[in-house]
Amino acid sequence: MIVDLLKEPWPWYVSGPLIGISVPLLLIFGNKMLGISSSLRHACAAIAPFNIQFLKYNWKSEMWNLFFVLGVFIGGFVGGVLLNNHEPVQISQETISDIKSLGINSFDGLVPSDLFNWETVFSLKGFVILVIGGFMIGFGTRYAGGCTSGHAIMGLSSLQWPSLVAVIFFFIGGLLMTHIFTPVIYSWFN
């Protein structure tokens, strides 16, 4: 059955091109640049602009972007609930053993439940990993002027060299965190 096939994890050569197609779709539907992190700025401008110059602009004219991320949220429901195959993510054996060495032993969902639960969120461990991590995502993407979608996909697709610089530093940051800081941070809580 087609639904059973859709419930299987989608291989990269199916999903990558479908993600790429969103670039021309947004352009043709109204000259819009693919970008997710801008939605965080629009939300700040809508909720708490105060007297901050960077948040003083007509966010209502960027409403399309808020509709787009609402769609991403709904898509998460379609992919993660309606098409859920209830299988663990098929990561490599090396990754599983590396993750276990961090003290994470739950491999059921899309994220480890021994980290992403309410009790942990309100502990020091959750604060360091999820709250500081989230803060760095919001601060860093806005400072860089985009995230994986705006710089890596939209920026590289339109051959913009500042986006290539951004993507290189996204990876430098990610590699530093994964290989240098992550073992130290997790060792505080084990």
Partner 1 sequence: MKNIKFLLVGILFGTVLTKTEAVSWFRIQEMFRFQSFHMYGIIGSAVVVGAISVWLIKRFNIKTIDKQEIIIPNKQFSKGQIIGGTIFGMGWALAGACPGPLYALLGAGYPVILVVILSALLGTWTYAWLNPKLPH
Contacts to partner 1 from residues 96-115, by CB under 8 A: 98-99, 107, 109-112, 115
Binding pattern for the stretch 8-47 against partner 1, x by CB under 8 A and - elsewhere? -xxxxxxxxxxxxxxxxxxxxxxxxxx-xx-xxx-xx--x
Q: Which is nearer to partner 1, 23 or 189 (CB)?
A: 23
Residues 41-80 that bind partner 1 (CB under 8 A): 41, 43-44, 47-48, 52-55, 63-65, 67-80
Classify burial at 95, counting beta carbons within 10 Å of its beta carbon; exposed 0-12, middle 13-18, buried 19 or more. Answer: exposed
Q: Which of 101, 103, 123, 171 binds partner 1 (CB under 8 A)?
A: 171
Amino acid (one-letter) located at 167: V
Helices (H), the chain: 2-7, 12-28, 38-47, 63-77, 93-100, 118-121, 124-126, 132-144, 156-157, 161-176, 182-187
Q: Which of 60, 173, 183, 187 binds partner 1 (CB under 8 A)?
A: 173
Q: Which of 103, 123, 175, 183 binds partner 1 (CB under 8 A)?
A: 175
Is there binding between residue 124 and partner 1 (CB under 8 A)? no
Classify burial at 36, counting beta carbons within 10 Å of its beta carbon; exposed 0-12, middle 13-18, buried 19 or more. Answer: middle
DSSP-based three-state secondary structure for 151? helix
For the CB of residue 125, give the shortest distance to partner 1 in the complex, in Å.
12
Provide the token pair at 115. Answer: 């980290």
For the CB of residue 180, give the shortest distance to partner 1 in the complex, in Å.
10
Binding pattern for the stretch 131-170 against partner 1, x by CB under 8 A and - elsewhere? xxxxxxxxxxxxxxxxxxx-xxxxxxxxxxxxx-xxxxxx
Q: Which is nearer to partner 1, 124 or 168 (CB)?
A: 168
For the CB of residue 159, give the shortest distance to partner 1 in the complex, in Å.
7
- Interior angle at CA 24, CA 21 and CA 25, nearest 5: 80
For the CB of residue 73, give the shortest distance to partner 1 in the complex, in Å.
4
Interatomic CA distance for residues 22 and 33, integer angstroms? 10
